[in-house]
Structure 1
Amino acid sequence: MATKLNEDRATKVEEFQFHVIPKRTTWENFQNAVYDPDKQEFFGRTKRSWYQLLIFYGIFYTCLAALFAICTRGLLATLDDRAPKWQLETSLIGTNPGLGFRPISSETREGSLIWYNLKNACTTSKWVNLLDEFLLPYRVKQIGRNYRSCDFDEELGDGYVCVVDVDSFGPCTSGNNYGYNSTSPCVFLKLNKIFGWVPTYYTKGQEGMPSDLKETIENEAKDNRTAVWISCEGENPVDKERIGGFNYYPGRGFPGYYYPYVNTENYLSPLIAVQIMNVEPNAIVNIECRAWAGNINYSGSDKNREGSVHFEILVDDPRVT
């Protein structure tokens, strides 16, 4: 009997009491996840835990915002609203201004080609509209405020800018369709602005200059020779034969009193209107215009062009075969 009792005790197993998950509906589970009344938890945290978390992140982001404000203030203290920190040789732009031309097509595939048909008003109005848009800032009345009519005899004071007279472009006007109703169209040239750049002027003819430019310089009064001179010509012998010459308005150079550019309010870059005379119809003509100054490097390479600009003109005339 004792042996049987011992065997019964040996085979008796105590059952472990596992946690029983209460049976709840989906809605009850959601409510319990938002607020657990048994543990007094809201989204899995007690009030104390939420307060500690909010205080920590409040202090953290306040310090982060203060650090950002200090760094931003320090950066802005090194900047000037009008003058860049890095200028000329120390800037990415450098000291060699590029020469640009207008009109230029907004269609990238057209490149630097100016093409129009004398019998198709749509093709001519395209270029007229582009030039009208380009010259719009120059048509604002440049009177009063800080505008001055400049000349070579008077130095421009600080805070003033020189007027660019749109009435000085000869036949290159909107009323004359800028010549795009004829075989003598106009293009406008301008130098890119570089802060603080001052040209080194050629006051006499230089080696490599076209003979007509040398003559122009020699015929100018000595006090009026402080200019960045411009020359345009056909790129190749056949191109030269297809052009009847060039006329420049208001003159052959960008006057020195427009320089340096120092980001003065209302400043406008000087322009030169170049009328290309009697372009041979129905043939592409390659033209290069070059800026002349002692500190403007020149390269006529298509891959690395400097101090010059290249464009093509094609005037179609169905009357000419």
Structure 2
Amino acid sequence: MASTEDKAATNKENASSWKDTFYNPRTGEVLGRTASSWALILLFYLVFYCFLAGMFALTMWVMLLTLDDYVPRYRDRVPYPGLVIRPSSLDMIVNKSEPLKYAEYVKQLELFLQRYNDTEQETNKECISGNYFLQDNAEQMEKKVCRFKRDSLSFCSGLSDTNFGYSEGRPCVLLKLNRIIGLMPRGNPYINCTVKKDSQIQMQYFPSEGLIDKMYFPYYGKKAHENYVQPLVAVKLLLNKEDYNKELAVECRVEGSDLRNNDERDKFLGRITFRITVVE
């Protein structure tokens, strides 16, 4: 009997001890600390984290003072531009007798050329051909844009031939350089395309000789050059019947300047290769 009473007393004491770990009514402690102790430790952490937040804000403010809203601080990752093709496909199959088969290519070209329409370009400046368009006046942060006339792409402009030559089996492709701030290529850059495997295929370039005019350089960045559009070179493949039903590998390169086009680590640096098959 006494043993049973001792066990009950022990259980009651253990339950009371367990409750005291959260709140001890005798000492007024909560989780082992008095109210003043909790106030001091909370004050310490408040001051500590406010100090950390202030240090972070200060370092961010100092870093932002070194940045320019118009020009990135570091621009050495991509010193040379890549070459981009439109339509954005490196493997094209064109069935000249079925418009639905090449309609997507035509749609891509038309949408891409919308920014080159006269209505979009009329507010841009007529620049002097063959000269860099330098605009280093710091007082005027927004830079002017040289006008690129869509009709300079002639038969590949989509103005006289809305199918860009796809309906006649002589398709057009458009080429442009990636934008790089401050780039001023030395020499007179132009696009030159060749068909691999010694195939002899004639091509037409628009503008003439595939020239990329230097008046479109340099580029001053997305914020300063908000309405900037890259100069385009159109290549029209003058295919004949004997060229149909063959996969033709075409390589286009930027020539005539110091822009790199032979880096084996980057197949798109200053060059691009695409395959095209025209089916009757």
Find 1:93's aligned residue among 64, 78, 81.
78
2:139 corresponds in structure 1 to none
2:12 corresponds in structure 1 to 22
1:199–1:293 Cα contact (<8 Å) kept = no
1:188–1:273 Cα contact (<8 Å) kept = yes
1:150 maps to 2:108? no
Partners of 1:32 and 1:173 lie apart in 2 by: 86
1:271 corresponds in structure 2 to 232
1:99 shift after superposition? 1.9
Find 1:131's aligned residue among 85, 94, 109.
109
Give every structure 1 segment of 4 or more consecutive aligned residues whose post-TM-superposition deviation is greater than 4 Å. Answer: 28-36, 300-306
1:41 shift after superposition? 3.7
2:271 corresponds in structure 1 to 308
Partners of 2:18 and 2:99 lie apart in 1 by: 73
Moved more, 29-38 or 257-266: 29-38
Partners of 2:275 and 2:250 lie apart in 1 by: 6
TM-score (norm 1): 0.69
Partners of 1:148 and 1:298 lie apart in 2 by: 31
1:9 corresponds in structure 2 to none
Greater RCO structure (CA 8 Å; 6+ sep) = 2
For structure 1, the residue ranges without an aligned partner over 5 or more in a row are 1-18, 106-111, 202-226
1:228 maps to 2:189? yes
Partners of 2:157 and 2:250 lie apart in 1 by: 21
Q: Which has the larger radius of gyration?
A: 1
Find 1:69's aligned residue among 27, 41, 57.
57
Find 1:166's aligned residue among 137, 147, 150.
150
TM-score (norm 2): 0.78
Moved more, 155-164 or 192-201: 155-164
- Cα offsets for 1:183-214 (capped at 9, x unmatched): 1111111112222121111xxxxxxxxxxxxx
Percent identical: 30
For structure 2, the residue ranges without an aligned partner over 5 or more in a row are 1-8, 136-142
2:133–2:217 Cα contact (<8 Å) kept = no
1:299–1:305 Cα contact (<8 Å) kept = no
Partners of 1:69 and 1:172 lie apart in 2 by: 54
Partners of 2:107 and 2:19 lie apart in 1 by: 68
Structure 1 letter corresponding to 2:73: K
- Pick closer, same or farther for the CA change 1:29–1:187 going to 2, 3 Å: farther
1:172 shift after superposition? 2.0
1:181 maps to 2:171? no
1:260 maps to 2:260? no
2:207–2:233 Cα contact (<8 Å) kept = yes
Partners of 2:41 and 2:64 lie apart in 1 by: 34
